[in-house]
Structure 1
Amino acid sequence: MSWICRVHHSLCISIFYQKVKERSTMSVAIHIEKVVKKYEDHTVIDGLSLEIKPGELFTLLGPSGCGKTTLLRMIIGFNSIEGGAIKLDDQVINTIPVNKRKMGMVFQNYAIFPHMTVEENIAFGLKAQNQGKKDMQNRINEIMKVVRIEDHHAKKPDKLSGGQQQRVALARALVINPKVLLMDEPLSNLDAKLRVEMRNAIKDIQQKVGITTVYVTHDQEEALAISDRIAVMNKGIIQQIGKPENIYLRPNNVFVAQFIGTSNLIKGTVQKQQDGTFVVFNDGYSERMDHLLDTVTDGQQVVVSVRPQEFVVSKDANAISGVVDKTMFLGINTHYFITLKTGESVEVVQNIEDHSIIPEGTSVNVKVKPRLINVFDATSEMTLIKAGE
């Protein structure tokens, strides 16, 4: 392709994105106010509230059965609402039929029609809008270019890869110019390489189109990679809402710390001294903590969450002693699985450039990086780190 053709193609794509963005209307906010969902005598969601900002990609993240898909289906209207309200901007949509909510949805299993071509699948949702033939064709052509499926317009789904089928499903959801895009585990049926490719594509398309998007997944890496903000859910309750980096670095409680990434949990005690506040681990090793809440008390029992990379293998005597049970070399990093003197098992990740590989069976001392670790009250399991630290 000559450079003139490449420039022309890029210009066309930019125009297509702009047209779709303009026609998708101004981005809307979603207000979820104390909503309740019951199935007979079982309450799945009980008084949940959250705000989704206009144009953001907001992810509902949690384990299977936590209520995230139930909430998504309440937003689009597949599930009834037994209490509270869901609003698009200022409009309550509780009783508005699904086909009147102006929302697009992408399902886990794609839900594209096997007997239709790519183009026919995308056109399906437009036919109900009584569009003129020329205008409808223009919109189909535009959205196929946006999701990069135009070269396959005449193919049936069985001739497409999983990623291509998901692009068709995404195009079909976007072509009707919805106010909100909803996505329910859209990548779970793809292999690892395709998942990475498609999550990048979804993020890119969502940003360029500018549509308010609610994304459901149980995959925390996927959520961290694509989200503007994440709501971590468990048993129908939101545990924490925040930007991916904030949730990863400063989890609100023990559940979030364990669900997002890998975390080692170690018992400890708060010790207040004249020269500061310390966390003392069960074998006597201590670290000064200058960013704990002022309300912590001397002798308070705590649980310390330490990411594998937040450990340091050290020769310092003021450290936690242990024995290397297993060594796993993974190129840049080496993972050590260590049983501590206290009986606790931890995973430690060290950069191979910083040290030679430690043989299994070796006695080692490990310290923590006090500014990075998280400390939780042993009873409530809530964070004891000051906000913003």
Structure 2
Amino acid sequence: MQRRKFLRNAGVGTAAVATTGLVAAPAIAQSAPEINWRMTSSFPKSLDTLYGGAERIAKIVAEATDNKFQIRTFAAGEIVPGLQVVDAVQNGTVEMGHTASYYFFGKDPTFALGTVVPFGLNTRQMNAWVTQGGGEQLLNDFYKNYNIYGIVCGNTTAQMGGWFRKEINTVEDLKGLKMRIAGLAGDVMSKLGVIPQQLAGGDIYPALEKGTVDAAEWVGPYDDQKLGFAKIAPNYYYPGWWEGNAAFHVFIGLDKWNALPKNYQAILRAACADTNNWTAAKYDADNPKALRVLIASGAKLLPFSQPIMEAAFKATNEVYAEITAKNANFKKVFDSMMAFRKDEVLWFRVAENTFDNFMARQSAAGKL
């Protein structure tokens, strides 16, 4: 009896659906508005990992929203120069920017902490601080002052120490050197006698060629090979102690971010997280091959001497003391990052570095 009643009722429901055609559309299709944004990058199209990250974000967002949310990407100079990305987002020229936060440390040194600072975190530590250590919230509390919202969207991993026309063996050799170097590293280098220059990526080669600068740091072998620095300044130094990682951001106008539907916010954040992993993995895969090509074509691979490293570390701490004494924004974010660094370095000494150093010795012995 109960079975017949259930089937009868089920049949009525089925008939009603068949008669009225009331098949629910997916919620996202019902509520998804069509949005078209523009994103200007600090990087040229020739850098397929850096600029490619911007393209990847736009592609993922479009696919995840059935092309309802479209983001058009523009390389440096197509809308604004590479070092004016934050200004373009801040004043509403574009909805989004794709850049390195530390390019804008001239506005406030705190911007440098969004990318990397000398003797700071490595790539994994930076990701951990941003996502698990409160870094993202602290940075966005600061970025709010500039009417922007930031999401980490890439990392170059540890960088090289740059290209020099002449060999640099002592701290004295650095004095009077004109060097393209970004972020707070320029302030540190100034203490060592270097004359720092801030240039966008596409402007570095012409500056080296014309002698406007004597040395330049950029990223690492894969990108450096593309830009051809070895032809002019063959001495290739390591490590880039000022960039143990280099995180990139998309910056979004704060009002645009707040007005974005929550599902679109989630999709954009997911696209940035995916691109963050993709960027680091791509550099890890491409840098070894590119380094071999550079060395085969005449680049001289050289380490910074221990005295230079020690002098740079001392100068770095002096710069930090000076800035934290007068900049509350910087101090708040910096103190969090450095406390996190202390614990992370201790942990990496136990496991990560022990393993990595053993494998490095096997490589040096030709056993790999």
User: Whose helix proportion is higher, 1 or 2?
Assistant: 2
Smaller-chain TM-score range? Answer: under 0.3
The TM-score with structure 1 as length reference comes to 0.20
The TM-score with structure 2 as length reference comes to 0.21
User: Whose strand proportion is higher, 1 or 2?
Assistant: 1
